[in-house]
């Protein structure tokens, strides 16, 4: 008897099969959502009993989308969410990477303690600080276009500013910075670069992978905000997408419209993810050094 040796082709085939299976498992809910959004309510419910739920069959139309638009100011919600998310992601990356930079590269008294305190904030669930935070933001001053005002409720800033400082992002950057060769920083210093120049010209350009990771994580957190905006935003003008979902469960629940709404608000996430994936690979390709 000859021993059974799997050929390289067979191995590759098995690997693809497993990957396809995993992909299918992940894609089914999305498929269900997208397909259902095209179906009338009645068919949608009966289709769930079979594989038809995942197939574009039966009576298909964009009626659910039209109805969804008339039920809620979707564009406003999407804009609000994207604006809040984008601003927060950018500010978080900036502030937290600078914080991490000072922890890793600058020598100052008490930085170990400060760092462990920042790390400790990661284990506090948001729910426990939501109410104290609400009391705080409701009384905070702000210097706006109309002069001095008190209270941050019903604004964009109340959805952005409390989320900028972020223990997880600081942690990710600290870990990454620690892995950068120390000689890069030392060489820059000898060459005459200031700390700011080292940050901007040497360290950050090498941070593609961690920027992409931190951005995706923060994007998801911010785009999925629900509890906080529910508490601090009562006006439709500043409402984000997740809170907007409520509009579809008031009076009568139309599942077709829910699915249409969900499909629309999922698109920006997918787009952002694909964009970053490309940037991520490009940054690894350009900064990779062998040896």
The answer to the question of residue 184 lying near another protein (CB under 8 A) is yes
Q: Which of 202, 217, 242, 245 touches another protein (CB under 8 A)?
A: 202
The answer to the question of residue 179 lying near another protein (CB under 8 A) is no
- Region binding another protein by CB under 8 A among candidate stretches 38-46, 51-59, 168-176, 198-206: 198-206
The answer to the question of residue 284 lying near another protein (CB under 8 A) is no
Strands 147-150 and 141-144: antiparallel
- Closer by beta carbon to another protein, 42 or else 284: 284
Nearest approach in angstroms of CB 180 to another protein is 10
Nearest approach in angstroms of CB 197 to another protein is 6
Specify burial of residue 122 (Cβ count, 10 A radius: 0-12, 13-18, 19+): exposed
Angle among Cα 287, 281, 286 to the nearest 5 degrees reads 20
Q: Report how far residue 221's alpha carbon sits from residue 217's, in angstroms, rounded to the nearest whole number.
A: 6
Binding residues for another protein, total number by CB under 8 A: 22
- Closer by beta carbon to another protein, 43 or else 102: 102
Nearest approach in angstroms of CB 207 to another protein is 10
Q: Which of 1, 106, 145, 289 touches another protein (CB under 8 A)?
A: 289
Nearest approach in angstroms of CB 252 to another protein is 57
The answer to the question of residue 281 lying near another protein (CB under 8 A) is no
The answer to the question of residue 193 lying near another protein (CB under 8 A) is yes
The answer to the question of residue 102 lying near another protein (CB under 8 A) is no
The answer to the question of residue 13 lying near another protein (CB under 8 A) is no
Nearest approach in angstroms of CB 282 to another protein is 12
- Region binding another protein by CB under 8 A among candidate stretches 30-38, 122-130, 136-144, 192-200: 192-200
Binding to another protein (CB under 8 A) within 24-63 occurs at none
Q: Report how far residue 215's alpha carbon sits from residue 201's, in angstroms, rounded to the nearest whole number.
A: 20
Nearest approach in angstroms of CB 172 to another protein is 19
Nearest approach in angstroms of CB 31 to another protein is 40
The answer to the question of residue 279 lying near another protein (CB under 8 A) is no
Rg (the chain; Cα; Å):
24
The answer to the question of residue 282 lying near another protein (CB under 8 A) is no
- Region binding another protein by CB under 8 A among candidate stretches 38-46, 59-67, 195-203, 213-221: 195-203
Q: How far is CA 128 from the centre of its chain?
A: 22
Q: How far is CA 136 from CA 87, 130, 133, 139, in A?
A: 22, 10, 5, 6
Nearest approach in angstroms of CB 101 to another protein is 17
| Binding-site ranges for another protein (CB under 8 A) | 181, 183-184, 186-193, 197, 201-202, 205-206, 286-291
């Amino acid at each position: 008897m000859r021993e059974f040796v799997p050929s390289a082709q067979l191995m590759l085939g098995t690997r693809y099969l497993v990957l396809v299976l995993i992909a299918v498992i992940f894609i089914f809910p999305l498929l269900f959502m997208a397909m259902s959004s095209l179906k009338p309510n009645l068919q949608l419910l009966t289709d769930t009993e079979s594989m038809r739920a995942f197939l574009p069959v039966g009576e298909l139309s964009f009626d659910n989308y039209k109805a969804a638009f008339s039920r809620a100011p979707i564009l406003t919600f999407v804009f609000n969410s994207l604006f809040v998310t984008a601003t927060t992601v950018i500010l978080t990356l900036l502030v937290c990477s600078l914080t991490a930079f000072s922890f890793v590269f600058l020598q100052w008294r008490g930085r170990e303690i400060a760092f462990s305190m920042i790390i400790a904030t990661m284990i506090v669930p948001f729910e426990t600080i939501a109410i104290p935070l609400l009391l705080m933001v409701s009384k905070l001053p702000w210097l706006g276009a109309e002069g001095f005002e008190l209270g941050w409720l019903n604004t964009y800033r109340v959805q952005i500013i409390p989320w900028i400082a972020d223990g997880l992002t600081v942690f990710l950057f600290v870990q990454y910075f620690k892995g950068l060769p120390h000689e890069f920083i030392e060489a820059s210093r000898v060459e005459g670069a200031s700390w700011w120049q080292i940050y901007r010209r040497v360290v950050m350009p090498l941070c593609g992978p961690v920027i992409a990771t931190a951005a995706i994580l923060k994007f998801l957190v911010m785009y999925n905000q629900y509890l906080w905006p529910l508490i601090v935003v009562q006006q439709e003008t500043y409402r984000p997408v997740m809170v907007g979902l409520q509009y579809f469960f008031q009076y009568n629940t139309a599942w077709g419209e829910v699915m249409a709404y969900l499909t629309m608000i999922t698109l920006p996430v997918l787009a952002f993810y694909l964009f970053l994936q490309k940037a991520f690979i490009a940054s690894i390709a350009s900064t990779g050094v062998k040896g």
